[in-house]
Each structure stands twice: as structure tokens, then as C-alpha cells.
A and B are shown apart, each in its own frame.
Chain A
Amino acid sequence: MRAYADLLEALVYTSARNGKLAILRRYFEETPDPDRGWALASLTGDLDLKNVTPSMVRGLIESRVDPLLFRLSYDFVGDLAETASLIWPEKADADAEAAHPNDLSLSAAVDQMTAVKRKEAPALIERWMDALTPSSRFALLKLGMGGMRVGVSARLARTAAAELGRVDVGALEELWFGLTPPYTELFAWLEGRGPKPEVKSHLAFRPMMLANPLEEETLDRLDPGDFAAEWKWDGVRVQLTAKPGEGALYTRTGEDIGAAFPDILDYAQFDATLDGELLIMVDGVVQSFNALQQRLGRKKVGKKMLTDHPAHIRAYDILFEGGEDLRALPFDQRRARLETLWERTQPGRFDLSPLVPFEDWADLTEQRQSLRGAGIEGLMLKRRDSAYLAGRPKGPWFKWKRDPFTADCVLMYAQRGHGRRSSYYSDYTFGCWRPAQGDTADEWELAPVGKAYSGFTDEELKKLDKWVRAHSTERFGPVRAVEPGLVLEVAFDSIHRSKRHKSGVAMRFPRIHRIRWDKPHAEADRIESLMALVE
């Protein structure tokens, strides 16, 4: 655990990408199997130890530490594993770790955390917490709970592993989703001691190609003739691999969600891998993102759900057809293959995302601005000659989101933040006006419509915090209610009906656009004007 703890510490304090790569490479070189493989899995998010959960860790701490002292500490530190590792009361014989001359190996920790019965997991962790140093405790808890926060993406970790064998990271990512930790075969191949691992599953996930946000200045440097445009749909990006009689559906991070969408797999009677948007569609009309959320994250899906919320795929790219890998072909040719496939098979529950014809950038800008509704988030621009590349290459694909909506809302509650912001009220719940419920005719009340904790500068945060403290009416725990008085101009991507919110609507991606210190709160927006924006 010590070497792994040192690795995490070195990574967090090194900001340069190359520095992080060097640290990871050295760790992979110096650490034997299977420990290095478990470490790699922990950094790529492929280690899933279900027995160690945040609530279990909280429970353990509260059995040893006064709850208020724990809460104040957690507020200050902002990270559960770190708070736990620091606050854990040392046993009287502080040299407990010295009494374990062999340290706790990463693989022993993983094995035991996997094998242990759920009920016995807390006792296991507690024993280790007593024996380890704070830094090793931190590493242990991060290993168990995930969420490393060491500034290493899954891709960077895989890049370091690829560098170990001087192979291209693309080649490694191609294999990745067919491999399982602790990756001993992979390391053997990288070190030249073994053959290239074979991806056994022919339904394997293929790394997806992602777009960069478009800076509008960039348009001037791009030739409109080089690009195809598509609508950007407000659904979930998925990859579908279908073979006769079987299939798999993945999110863009490679998570298999097929079990939740048997309807899609049933209709996918062709032999291809497609890239597209997962939507809910009723009688040809795309439903809100909320409707889709009803079906995501379910292990099983009932009959009623299947009829009420039928799933649909709107395809925009093709990666494989039959056994043929099409990814090296230019976009235009892949598109033609996709259209031919669709015409030939006409699968139900599928359609093609149409290309958006345009004359020049001015024309496209116009189309983007006039567009509202129909589950569209904006536009995608794809170079007509672009191959389908893994990751987020700069240049070939852009996403061009439409301008957000804005609404003037009134601040209602403020909550203390975490970590660096723990001494500030930095999370804001705001509302809009509606006629008071009940028989107090002619009166108006605020109903909450969203919550935001971003979009302001540190300077503004200080002013907001001060305002909250000076205008609070009630305190419950870390939350303060404030009197109506401050107007926040809130930007959001879309708005949906919601039964869970008292106001009946919920914003998607709300953030503070401007603080309207000047605006009288009575002039903030009404719920009915938000209702008009519901798609």
C-alpha cells in the first residue's frame, strides 16, 4: 500500500502532463504484477469494489469520532477519503504499521475487499485503518471507493501503460474493453514477454470519437465546404453493436446498458456497429431528457416502462459493417455506407440523423439561432474527410451548442460549499414567482426552480456570501434561508416538467450568468414564463 500511496501523492502534486506520465511509467516499471494492474484499474475507473461505500466509511468514522467534529472537518477538507484518513484516531501503539513488516499489498487488499461479506466489510476496513499510516489509509479508501482526484484521466493512465511498451495508445484502447484487471496479459505484451492479448468478445466496445466545443472565432478559419453539419440531439450518446441474434449497447464511457434497453436490441437485426443518440420517442415525437432518465440506470425494465417510454436510436455514424472496419474511411464514405445499410434493413426503432444542408457559416448560424425545441441542443460539425478516431482529436469534429436560455430568479437558500469553499455559502437555490397557493388571492410566492454553484468569480462569491449572511432568516445545518431580495440571472440549457420540484419545472445545467444586484426582486421572472420554454 505504501508504494501506491506514494504514487497517488506524487501524482497529485505534479501538474505537468509529462511529469505525471513519467511517474506512472516508473510505477508500472517498478511494481510487480498483479499490484500494478490493480493500480491501473483504480486510475481508469475499472475497479469496482462494491463492499466499500462512502456511507460505510462515514459510519466507521462516526463510530470513532464525534459527529460534529467529523462534519466540521469534512466541510473543511472536502474529500471523504482524505478526511477519514486524517481524522482516524491513532491507536495507543502508534507503530502498528511497523508491526506489519510486509505492508499490505494492493492485491491482498483488493482480494479481501472483493471476497469479504458485506456485513463484515466495515470490520475489515477498520482493522486496516488502525494498522496503516494516514497516507496509506487515504490510498486504501480511494482504492475502495474510487474517485481518485489525482488529476489523471483514464486516458492518461492508459497512455502511460502504452508508453511502457512503446505502443500507440490507440492500439491499447482498442483492446481495453475486452480486458479485465489486473491486466497481467496486457503487461506481458507491453514488456515483450507475451503475445498481443486477443479481445475475445466480438461485441466489444470501441473507443468513441468525441468533439471539441467550437469557439466562434474558429469558424473564420474553417472552409464550410469541408464540413457536414448535423443536429446535436439532447439524448445519450451510445454505441450499438449488433450481430444476428445478439447485441450490445454502450455509453460513451464503455458502460454496457443493454440490459435496460431490450427493445433496442430486439430491433437491431443487422450486423454492424453504429454510433448514435439514444432517445425516447412516442408516436414519432422525441420526449424530454427526463423521460430518458426514467429508463437509464435500471438493471431491469418492466413492461409498462417499455410501452410508455419506448427507446429509439438516431444513428449518425457506422464503425463496422459485417467484419469490416470502416473507421479509417472518411466521414462522407461512412455516411454513405450508413445510409445504404439503413435503406436495406429499415429497422424499426431506428432512424438516421439527417445532415443539415447549409450555404455558408452565416446561413448555418442563422439556422442554429432559429432553432428551438424538438430535443435539439445545437449543431455538430464534422469534417467530411475525417476518419473515426478514438478520443477527442483536435480539429475534425466540433460541437456548437445553441445559446442557453436565461431567466431572472430570486435567491431563496444558500448552502456552504466543500473544500476550498467550505467557509462560503456557495451553492444557491433560486426560485421564480407564482400566484400563492391556497386562497390568499393576489399574492405571489417563490417556488424553487433550480440550484447552481458555478458561473461566478471568487470576488463575486465573497460578495454573495456576505449578502447571504446579512439577509438570512433561518439556519438549518449548512443551509441558510434568505429573505427575497437578490436577483440572479440564471443560464440553463433547457427546462422540463418535473413532479419532484414544487414549481413543476426543472432546469438542465443551470449556472449563474449574472448577479443582478440592481434589479428589484419583484421584477424577477414568473413560473409561467418558464413553462413556455418547456419543450
Chain B
Amino acid sequence: MAKSGPKSILQIRPEGLYCAPGGFFIDPHRPVHRAVITHGHADHARPGNGHVLATRETLAIMQSRFGAIAKKGGQAAGYGETVTIGDARVRLVPAGHVLGSAQAVIDTDQGRVVVSGDYKRRRDPTCAEFETVPCDLYVTEATFGLPVFRHPESAGEIGKLIRSLETFPDRAHLVGAYALGKAQRVIKLLREAGYDRPIHLHGAMRGLCDLYQELGVDLGPLEDVETGKGARRDFGGEIVLCPPSALRGAWSRRFGDAVAAFASGWMTVRQRAKQSGVELPLVLSDHADWDELTATIRDVEAETIWVTHGREEALVHQARLYGLDAEALSVAGFEEEGQ
């Protein structure tokens, strides 16, 4: 690692990405003394740290998932608010990924580093829009870092779901979606498309949907499959949201001949979608697609790009074609999110 300049600000340690001047980790995958957490997904936010700095929404999500944020407490920072930690000034700015998601902007006397966390550039009615911050070193995710990934307009994908309801009015529509972010976005997009019927929830979806509503994201009428008014009745023609893993489990059998849908960026690739056993693939991603990734690494005007979290090789290659200094960062602990 370089002794000076922006590259000296970050180090890779066994616990994760470490900011030396500030003495803190960003999204560590093992408990540390001091952490900055970009967002509430399980591969970024983990329990057991000493101090945690995150947005108010991310702290609330961590609280609801783990029952605690950190041993010595969480510190909330609003978007744009500067917090000094050691010799670093830290600012969280919107990443457009899920509610409360942030990029960490770190200013030091060696320059400015931005760690993107997970992000997307397109509009999402459930969270603040991505903000471009020029910097010297940009650490970008690369979940969909291949040029075959070009996510279509979300309205068109939600349209497919609504058309399927019209084509199969007697079949329940099970929509597999991640409980944090994707589920609420699907609901909100349905509402924007004019769908105002109650939407039914698998037990695992309820907590975060309620939290989103408390934090000001109106999701309309929601009912629980297990205990709600809809319990033990026929779900024909209704939309039921569940975790992707429940699509093919014993739980799904109660719906009879249901249409299985899956809202995920991976649905772009036919054989992948087919392997997940779905009949109705919905290409809805909370991660940047190839065009968004390649635009972002230019928009931030950084000299150096570090690529992590996904398919690094292609994006590193593309960044070098742009004449940027680019490298793959192998930070352990990030899963291939099915988003």
C-alpha cells in the first residue's frame, strides 16, 4: 500500500477495508472497535462492533434486524453532515441502493476517498437518489460488472407482473424479493402503476415493511399471509411477496398452481432465471448495471478506481481502457447478492 497520496488512506485488513487516518473500518465483516456502515444488508452491516456511524435509517434497520446496533452505541449522521473521526472527516451521501444507503466520503490531508458501498443510479421511489461526489480514489462495487447486464426500465418489468395477473386471474402470483429494499421497491412500483389492492406478505417481509412505513415510505395496504385477514383463503389473482428461498419451499405449496416470479438483476440471463425455477423473471436490480458502473467511474473524476464486490475483472479492464488507474480489491465477506 502506498505511503502517501489517496491510496495511503485505505488498507485491506483481515477485518475488512480500513481507513488508517480515521482508525475505522468500512462495512467490516468481523466485529471491530469502530465502524462506518454504508447500508443495512447483511454483507455490509453486522452486529457486535464497538462504535457505529451510519445514517439514521441504516441504524434503525440494524436495530430491527439484530436487536442492537453496536456495543457502545450508534451515531446517526444525516446525508451531507460531516463527522470527524481521528484525522479523517467523514460524510455520508446517498447511494440510491436501499433506504438509508450511503457512500462514505472520506477527506484527509492525503486527498479524498469515496467508498460506494452498493449503489444504483436510476430512480427508486423508496430511497434518496445517488449523488456523484468527485474524488481522488473511488471504491466501486461490481455486482453486475459485465456488459451483458443492462437493466431495463423498472416500469416495464412491473408491467409484466400486472399483465400476468390479467392473463392468469385465478393464479396466485408469488414474487420472490429480498426483504430489505427490493420488496419495498416492488410494492412502491406497483402502487405507482396504479395497483391498490392489498399486497400479501410472507412473515419474513413484515418487519422491514413496517419499518419503511415508519420511516415515511408509504406502501399502501399490506396483509400477512399467515395471520392476516387473508389467512387460509384462496390467494388466486393476488400478489404475495416472499423471500426468494420460499418460492420453492414447502411454504409455497399452499398457493397451489401459483405463478412464481423473481425480482432480481440476475434474471437478465435466461439460463440463470431458468435455474431459479421461475416462470416470470422480473429484471429489477438495486445494483448499478454495466452502463451505470462505467458512467460512474468516469463521473467521479477519480484518478484511481478500486473495484470490489462482484465481477471485478471486467470493470477493472474497462476502467483501464478509459485510462484510469484501476485495481481489483479482494475484500472477503461480500456475497453474491441475488439482487
Q: Provided the pairs A13-B279, A66-B317, A87-B147 are in contact, do residues A72 and B311 lie with their beta carbons within 8 angstroms?
A: yes
Interface segment, A32-40, A78-86, A363-371, A526-534?
Answer: A78-86
Residues of the B chain whose Cβ atoms lie less than 8 Å from the Cβ of A502: none
Residues of the B chain whose Cβ atoms lie less than 8 Å from the Cβ of A282: none
B271 within 8 A of A: yes
B313–A13 touching, CB < 8 Å = no
Residues of the B chain whose Cβ atoms lie less than 8 Å from the Cβ of A77: 148, 269, 271
A73–B314 touching, CB < 8 Å = yes
B252 within 8 A of A: no
Q: Which of B225-240 contact A (CB under 8 A)?
A: none
Residue of B150, B270, B281 touching A82 (CB-CB under 8 A): B270
Q: Which of A13, A15, A78, A82 has the most CB of B within 10 A?
A: A13
Shortest distance between the CB of A15 and any CB in chain B (Å): 8
Residues of the B chain whose Cβ atoms lie less than 8 Å from the Cβ of A221: none
Interface code B292-320, partner A: CB below 8 Å = 1, 0 otherwise? Answer: 00000000000000000001011001100
Interface code A1-20, partner B: CB below 8 Å = 1, 0 otherwise? Answer: 00000000100111100000
Q: Which of A14, A72, A78 has the most CB of B within 10 A?
A: A72
B271–A419 touching, CB < 8 Å = yes
Question: Considering the chains assembled together, what is the distance between the CA atoms of A207 and B147 in angstroms?
Answer: 45
Residues of the B chain whose Cβ atoms lie less than 8 Å from the Cβ of A90: 150
A76 within 8 A of B: yes
A65–B147 touching, CB < 8 Å = yes
A420–B148 touching, CB < 8 Å = no
Interface code B244-285, partner A: CB below 8 Å = 1, 0 otherwise? Answer: 000000000000000000000000111111110111110000
Residues of the B chain whose Cβ atoms lie less than 8 Å from the Cβ of A65: 147
A305 within 8 A of B: no
Shortest distance between the CB of A135 and any CB in chain B (Å): 10
Question: Considering the chains assembled together, what is the distance between the CA atoms of A13 and B147 in angstroms?
Answer: 23
B278–A76 touching, CB < 8 Å = no
A13–B274 touching, CB < 8 Å = yes
B270–A83 touching, CB < 8 Å = no
Question: Considering the chains assembled together, what is the distance between the CA atoms of A68 and B314 in angstroms?
Answer: 8
Residues of the A chain whose Cβ atoms lie less than 8 Å from the Cβ of B268: 86
B317–A69 touching, CB < 8 Å = yes
Shortest distance between the CB of A97 and any CB in chain B (Å): 14
Q: Provided the pairs A68-B314, A68-B317, A72-B313 are in contact, do residues A12 and B147 lie with their beta carbons within 8 angstroms?
A: no
B148–A73 touching, CB < 8 Å = yes
B314–A69 touching, CB < 8 Å = yes
A14–B279 touching, CB < 8 Å = yes
Shortest distance between the CB of B324 and any CB in chain A (Å): 15
Residues of the A chain whose Cβ atoms lie less than 8 Å from the Cβ of B273: 13
Residues of the B chain whose Cβ atoms lie less than 8 Å from the Cβ of A66: 317-318, 321
Residue of A nearest to B336 (CB): A423
Shortest distance between the CB of B26 and any CB in chain A (Å): 26
Residues of the B chain whose Cβ atoms lie less than 8 Å from the Cβ of A420: 271-272, 275
Question: Considering the chains assembled together, what is the distance between the CA atoms of A345 and B331 in angstroms?
Answer: 78
Q: Provided the pairs A13-B278, A420-B272 are in contact, do residues A86 and B317 lie with their beta carbons within 8 angstroms?
A: no
B147–A73 touching, CB < 8 Å = yes
Q: Which of A309-351 contact B (CB under 8 A)?
A: none
Residues of the A chain whose Cβ atoms lie less than 8 Å from the Cβ of B68: none
B147–A69 touching, CB < 8 Å = yes
Shortest distance between the CB of B311 and any CB in chain A (Å): 7
Question: Considering the chains assembled together, what is the distance between the CA atoms of A12 and B281 in angstroms?
Answer: 11
B146–A76 touching, CB < 8 Å = yes
Question: Considering the chains assembled together, what is the distance between the CA atoms of A9 and B164 in angstroms?
Answer: 14
Shortest distance between the CB of B278 and any CB in chain A (Å): 7
Shortest distance between the CB of B40 and any CB in chain A (Å): 27
Question: Considering the chains assembled together, what is the distance between the CA atoms of A79 and B274 in angstroms?
Answer: 14
Q: Provided the pairs A66-B321, A72-B311 are in contact, do residues A86 and B148 lie with their beta carbons within 8 angstroms?
A: yes
Shortest distance between the CB of A77 and any CB in chain B (Å): 6
Q: Which of B179-237 contact A (CB under 8 A)?
A: none
Q: Which of A74-119 contact B (CB under 8 A)?
A: 76-79, 82-83, 86-87, 90
Residue of A nearest to B268 (CB): A86
Shortest distance between the CB of A402 and any CB in chain B (Å): 35
Interface code A449-476, partner B: CB below 8 Å = 1, 0 otherwise? Answer: 0000000000000000000000000000
Residues of the B chain whose Cβ atoms lie less than 8 Å from the Cβ of A79: 270-271
Question: Considering the chains assembled together, what is the distance between the CA atoms of A79 and B272 in angstroms?
Answer: 11
Shortest distance between the CB of A469 and any CB in chain B (Å): 13
Residue of B nearest to A75 (CB): B146
Interface code B127-157, partner A: CB below 8 Å = 1, 0 otherwise? Answer: 0000000000000000000111110000000
Residue of A nearest to B149 (CB): A86
Residues of the B chain whose Cβ atoms lie less than 8 Å from the Cβ of A12: 270, 274
B311–A76 touching, CB < 8 Å = yes
B280–A13 touching, CB < 8 Å = yes
Q: Which of B268, B271, B273, B277 has the most CB of A within 10 A?
A: B271
B271–A72 touching, CB < 8 Å = no
Question: Considering the chains assembled together, what is the distance between the CA atoms of A90 and B147 in angstroms?
Answer: 11
Residues of the B chain whose Cβ atoms lie less than 8 Å from the Cβ of A72: 146, 311, 313-314, 317
Shortest distance between the CB of B48 and any CB in chain A (Å): 28
B281–A13 touching, CB < 8 Å = yes
Residues of the A chain whose Cβ atoms lie less than 8 Å from the Cβ of B280: 13
Q: Which of B273, B313, B314, B318 has the most CB of A within 10 A?
A: B314
Residues of the A chain whose Cβ atoms lie less than 8 Å from the Cβ of B146: 69, 72-73, 76
Q: Which of B99-130 contact A (CB under 8 A)?
A: none
A78–B147 touching, CB < 8 Å = no
Question: Considering the chains assembled together, what is the distance between the CA atoms of A9 and B321 in angstroms?
Answer: 35
Residue of A nearest to B281 (CB): A13
Shortest distance between the CB of B337 and any CB in chain A (Å): 15
Residues of the A chain whose Cβ atoms lie less than 8 Å from the Cβ of B313: 72
Question: Considering the chains assembled together, what is the distance between the CA atoms of A82 and B269 in angstroms?
Answer: 8
Smallest CB-CB A-B distances: 3 pairs:
A86-B148, A73-B148, A72-B314
Report 29 cross-chain contacts, Cβ distance below 8 Å, ordered by A residue: A9-B270, A12-B270, A13-B273, A13-B280, A13-B281, A14-B279, A66-B321, A68-B314, A68-B317, A69-B146, A69-B317, A72-B313, A73-B148, A73-B314, A76-B311, A77-B271, A78-B271, A82-B269, A82-B271, A83-B148, A86-B148, A86-B149, A86-B269, A87-B148, A134-B150, A149-B271, A420-B271, A420-B272, A420-B275
Apart from the given pairs A12-B270, A72-B313, 13 other A-B contacts in the complex at a CB distance below 8 Å: A13-B274, A13-B279, A13-B281, A14-B279, A69-B147, A69-B317, A73-B147, A86-B147, A86-B148, A86-B268, A87-B147, A419-B271, A420-B272
